[in-house]
Each structure stands twice: as structure tokens, then as C-alpha cells.
Amino acid sequence: MPVSRRTLLSAGAAAAAAVALPHGASPAVAAGTRAGLPVEGAAWRALRRALSPAAQLLTGCAPVDNQRYAYPPPLREIVCQNEHDVQVAVQWCLVEGVPFRLRSGGHNYAGYSTVPDGVVICLGERMHWLHKDGQRLHVGGGSTNSDVYDNRGLGLYFPGGRCPTVGVAGLTLGGGLGFNDRKWGLTCDRLVETRLVLADSTLVRATENENADLFWACRGGAGGNFGVNTSFVFDAVPVAQLRATVFDLTFPLDVAVPVVQELQHLLDTDHTHDLDVRIGFKHARDGKAFLWVLGQRLGPEATLRRLFRGLLALHPTSEFIEERGFWEAQDHLLDVPEDRECYTSKSLVPDRWLTADALTAITEWTRGWDPGKARADGYVTLFAMGGASAEPAPHDTAYPHRGAKFVIDIGSRWAPGASEEESEAALRQTRQVYRTLRTLLGTDAAYVNFPDPELVDWQHAYYGGNYERLVKVKNKYDPDNRFRYPQSIGTPELLTSPRPARAASAPR
């Protein structure tokens, strides 16, 4: 790719030039030559010298959330503390021919942010920062949802997810859904600028007017494909004066069908897009099976109670409804992480409401779930979509599913230590309901932020008609396919996933 076609940021270009390449080799010559081989001590020492003093080279760590992929750990984790470190790290990996992956929050479902025989380039604590510029929020590439919540004093918000430790990078690059996407769009819809270190270690900016094709791809084209995103700028929403009513209800499965039908009706008639909800069918490992309805409506409690009259008449087993300030409402909706677990997930993104048949199928499956020896939870969760998230056309950003009614997450969680056979029993059950729903809903569209290594035509399931355009962007910005993992854009060959392993006895 000719450099002149991009805008090189001067500071970045200078930093890149300052990186002393080990052995004086160029990435183009040396890449791939030592993959899988132990890296010499001299090379690590050269890397250490080139990094900033605050950067770290860690060994033996298990940097990912999903414990199926935590072991074996990568050879090293390069904890970058600034953009220069990222440039050094990318260049070093290419010169040494060491496979690498990128990590921000480490929450990729399929372990794509780690690699056992390579290094993980991760963005350390000094790359967790937020600052405000008018109505824009500038966010460091290592930041997580909790950094956004911790900076609530700035009075600005952009729609994000509910797990505090999920990275803004992965969330944004793959789309980003949450309890405010119907009101203000997906996380990627609020992005106005991002900076990336590319495979040739240059630093570029991507906006609507600068490297516009790359900017398009960074809004839904998924992390790990084009470069290392070192920072983001979001068009944020002033929320300090807003109030929201949170609701947290559980119902017996006996009334799951009418409950979901009523919620579908409420969503369909919610023309202000103030209502957002997550509907969870769950069979917990302790044997309890129920429907969990969690969400918020911007505005007063009295209005919500009026709207929910029909829903509450279906007799929830537990009921919490409370009006709060905007941030306090988000606090209630947060999913505070428990111990790290093993999990699997499949997704479907239907553009039609669920029929009674589909809802009955999910209900029966939930009821019949067998936690097995792995003592696994089984769940099907429907995240309401539509509203502002449906306003862009499918090709306006790389995220294509603009007509979606729901993103459906189908999965299972279990504690580390289960044997392959025991976890396979949980996987079999998730595959079964996935197949049933795929047929009943007439779609195999999937959400790239809930990646599924078993998906066959993942290219079109994740990206719809945008895949071919993503390949063009990939070929332009990463022509030698340096940034790659099993489901990366333009994957030319079958690459092996990190093997799910038992994680019981491994230290953290």
C-alpha cells in the first residue's frame, strides 16, 4: 500500500522510525520465518530496550476471560503503555516472525485475543484514559466499560455494554449493543475518529474524511483485523440531567410466551426508543429455570408502570422497578463479573419478531436443559434492537444487521475443570437449540462480537453483504495479512483456533 495514500500522523511516523529493528531486518523480509520456534533471549532483550520503561513483558499469564482459551498461555504478553510501544511491539513480532494477537478487555468469546505459541499485544493501564472535548469523549484504546462509568463526572456517555471489564476497543469494533442502543445507536455508530497502528507500524487516523474506508471498516468489521486501535473519539450524549427507570423482573417459564409477546408489542410501539430490554431464558446449574427481564426506560417510573400494566398482570415471581438518575440506573444494569468461567456462545440476528412456535421451542429447551456433570448453565438471551440502531443502512457501516429485532445469544457457562466430554454435553445442547431457532427464524445472521468458531459461512453470517468490501479494505491496509486469527477478514487458509483446554488447576 503506498504510504502517500494515507495520512501519517507525524508523531507516529517519527516514533516508528525510532524503533530499532532487531537484526536490522525489515518486517516484509523476516515475517513468518520463526513462527512456532522459541524466540532467542537476545530478541526479547532488544524488544525490552525498544519499549518504554513503563511497558511490561509478562510471562505465564492467562489474559483472557473465557477460561476455555486461557491455557496454554502465550509466550509473552507485551503490555504497551503508549502508541510508540504498540508500534515497537507490532514491528518486533513481524521481524521475529512471531504470531501475535491483540487484546484490550480480553472478552472475546472464542479466544481470538490470545495465542499459545505467540505473543499478545495488550494495551496497559496508561492506555486507559478518557477526556472530554466539547461533546466528544476521547478514549484510550485500552479502556473498558468501567472506565467510562468511572468518568461519569464528565457528564457524557456513549452507548456501551453492561459488563464493566469488556474493552471499548472490542465492543466498538464489532458493533456494541447495550441498554441504550435503541435510543442512541450502537457503540460504533457514535464513533467519529480512531487511531490505528498498522502492520507496517505506521500510525494513522481514520475518520469520515480521512482513510474513510478504514473508518467504515472499524464500525463493525471487528477487532484484530486491520491494525491496533490505540484510541477512539465518540460523539457523546449529555446525560447528567436524565432519569431512567430500571426494571428487573423474573417470571416462571409457564408464562414465558405471553411475557415475550407483550414485550415485543411494547418494543414495536415504542416510537421514542426510550425502552430497552434484555430477555433471558435461563436454566441455572442449581436446577432453577426461569425468564429474566432486565432493562430500562428513559423517563419516570409512573410512565413505565403504566406501560407495564399488561406485563405485571402476568405475575412476576420477583419485581424490582425504580426510577433513578441516569448513571445510577446504569449501575443497576451492570453485570458485575463473578469468577472467570468457561463458556460457549452462538448467535442469531433475526429481522422478525419471534413467533409463539419459536418462543415455545426456547421455553421447552430451557426447561429440559441438563446441567450435566459440568454443572453448566444453559441460556438463550434476546437483546432488543431497533430504534436508533436501525437508522443507518446495512452498508453505511461494516455492521450490517440494521433490520434486526433482536440479537440472540445462545450459550452455556460452566466452572473450569470439566472434562472435554462433560463440556461437550453442554455444547451439544446449545447446538441443538441453535439449529431449531435458525430454522424457525429463517436466518443464520450472527453477531461478530459473539463469535462462534463452529460457524461455517461466518463471513456472511457476521457481515452480510459487507464482507467483500471488508476484504478490499483489508487488502489495502494489511496486504500481507499480518493481523489474523481463525475468523479474520480475508483469511486465506484454515488457521487453527487455540485449543480449548481444561483450566481447573492452572494458576491465575
Ligand X SMILES: Cc1cc2nc3c(=O)[nH]c(=O)nc-3n(C[C@H](O)[C@H](O)[C@H](O)COP(=O)(O)OP(=O)(O)OC[C@H]3O[C@@H](n4cnc5c(N)ncnc54)[C@H](O)[C@@H]3O)c2cc1C
Write out the residues near ligand X by the rule CB under 6 A: 65, 101-109, 112-113, 123, 141, 161-163, 166-167, 169-171, 173-178, 223-224, 228-229, 449
* DSSP labels, 339-372: S--EEEEEEE--SSPPPHHHHHHHHHHHHH---T
Closer residue to ligand X, CB minimum distance, 73 or 224: 224
Single-letter amino acid, residue 142: G
CB of 277 to ligand X, least distance (A): 13
Cα 39 from Cα 25, distance rounded (Å): 15
C-alpha 1: how far from chain center: 29
**Closest approach of ligand X to the CB of residue 312, in Å:** 26
Closest distance of CB 19 from ligand X, Å: 19
The least CB distance from residue 199 to ligand X, in Å, is 12
CB of 87 to ligand X, least distance (A): 13
Reported residue count of the chain is 508
Nearer to ligand X, 12 or 223 (CB): 223
Per-residue CA distances from 62 to 85, 123, 174, 503, 507 (Å): 21, 15, 23, 10, 8
Tell me which H or E stretch contains 310. Answer: helix 309-312
CB nearer ligand X, residue 178 or residue 500: 178
Name the residue among 412, 325, 405 with its Cα closest to residue 374: 412
Alpha helices in 144-298 (DSSP H): 145-150, 168-174, 181-184, 212-217, 256-268
- Residue 243 DSSP SS3: strand
Closest approach, Cβ 229 to ligand X, in A, equals 4
Q: Which is nearer to ligand X, 46 or 247 (CB)?
A: 247
Sheet of 243-251, strand order: 318-325, 243-251, 289-298, 275-283, 377-384, 406-414, 342-348
For the chain, give percent helix, strand, coil, nearest 5: 35, 20, 45
Please state the closest distance from residue 141 (CB atom) to ligand X, in A.
4
Smallest distance, ligand X to C-beta of residue 152, A: 18
**Torsion sign over Cα 398, 399, 402, 403:** positive
How many other CB atoms are found less than 10 A from the CB of residue 125?
12
Q: Which is nearer to ligand X, 46 or 163 (CB)?
A: 163
Residues 117, 36 contacting (CB under 8 angstroms): yes
- Shortest distance (Å) from residue 497 CB to ligand X: 12
Angle at 169 between CA 166 and CA 174, to 5 degrees: 90
Q: What are phi and psi of 117, to 5 degrees?
A: -105, 30
Which of 198, 374 has the CB closer to ligand X? Answer: 198
Concatenate the DSSP letters of all residues of 439-464 into one string.
HHHT-----TTS--TT-SSHHHHHHG
- Give min distance, CB of 107 to ligand X, in A: 3
Which is nearer to ligand X, 89 or 266 (by Cβ)? 89
Residue 262 vs 341, nearer CB to ligand X: 341
Helices 356-368 and 256-268: angle between axes, nearest 10 degrees: 140
* Nearest residue (CB) to ligand X, 46 versus 501: 501
In the complex, least distance from residue 230 CB atom to ligand X, rounded to whole angstroms: 7
Q: Which residues contact 34 (CB under 8 A, 6 or more apart)?
A: 96, 97, 98
The least distance separating ligand X from the CB of residue 463, rounded to whole angstroms, comes to 15
Other Cβ atoms less than 10 A from the Cβ of 364: the count is 14
What is the separation of C-alpha 473 from the centre of its chain, rounded to a whole number of angstroms? 21
Q: Which is nearer to ligand X, 361 or 398 (CB)?
A: 398
Peptide bond before residue 72 is cis, with ω within 30 degrees of 0: yes
DSSP classification of residue 8: B
Burial 148-162 (b: 16+ CB within 10 A, else e): beebbeebbbbbbbb
CB 231 within 8 A of CB 136: no
Which residue, 188 or 307, has its beta carbon nearer to ligand X?
188
Query: Would you say 104 and 122 are in contact if contact means Cβ atoms under 8 Å apart?
Result: yes
Nearer to ligand X, 211 or 363 (CB): 211
Indicate the residue among 44 and 112 with the shorter CB distance to ligand X.
112
Smallest gap from residue 182 Cβ to ligand X (A):
13
